């Protein structure tokens, strides 16, 4: 799924949608506070943010797998 040619475009559109929802619903998201699912606007925003995170991480993982690198060490800096 993460290797699908149009998946980068899907990730970009989700990121733009999350930014758009965050900008037009900023008061509703702020009023929800730590109760992220209190209202529909807040839930839509956070679902988009989580979806972007999953899509981006999956794409990084897939590309490392295709290059033959160890995907479990994606963000771990090697020590000397």
CA distance linking residue 80 with residue 72, whole number of Å = 18
The whole model's pTM is what?
Answer: 0.71
Summarize pLDDT for 42-77 with one digit per residue, the tens: 888 889 999 999 888 888 887 777 777 665 665 666
Q: Given this model, what pLDDT does residue 69 score?
A: 66
78 lies in some domain: no
Domain count, the chain: 1
What is the extent of the structural domain holding 20?
7-68
75 lies in some domain: no
77 lies in some domain: no
74 lies in some domain: no
Nearest to 45 by CA among 67, 25, 69: 25
CA angle 17, 49, 1 (to 5 degrees): 90
Reading the block at residue 25, the tokens are: 């619903």
25 lies in some domain: yes
Label residue 55 exposed, middle or buried (CB < 10 Å: 0-12, 13-18, 19+).
buried
60 lies in some domain: yes
80 lies in some domain: no
CA distance linking residue 36 with residue 28, whole number of Å = 10
């Amino acid at each position: 799924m993460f290797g699908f040619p149009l998946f980068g475009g899907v990730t970009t559109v989700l990121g733009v949608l999350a930014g758009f929802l965050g900008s037009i619903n900023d008061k509703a998201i702020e009023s929800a506070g730590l109760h992220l699912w209190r209202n529909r606007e807040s839930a839509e925003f956070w679902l988009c943010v989580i979806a972007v995170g999953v899509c981006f991480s999956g794409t990084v993982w897939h590309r490392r797998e295709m290059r033959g690198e160890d995907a479990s060490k994606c963000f771990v800096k090697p020590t000397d």
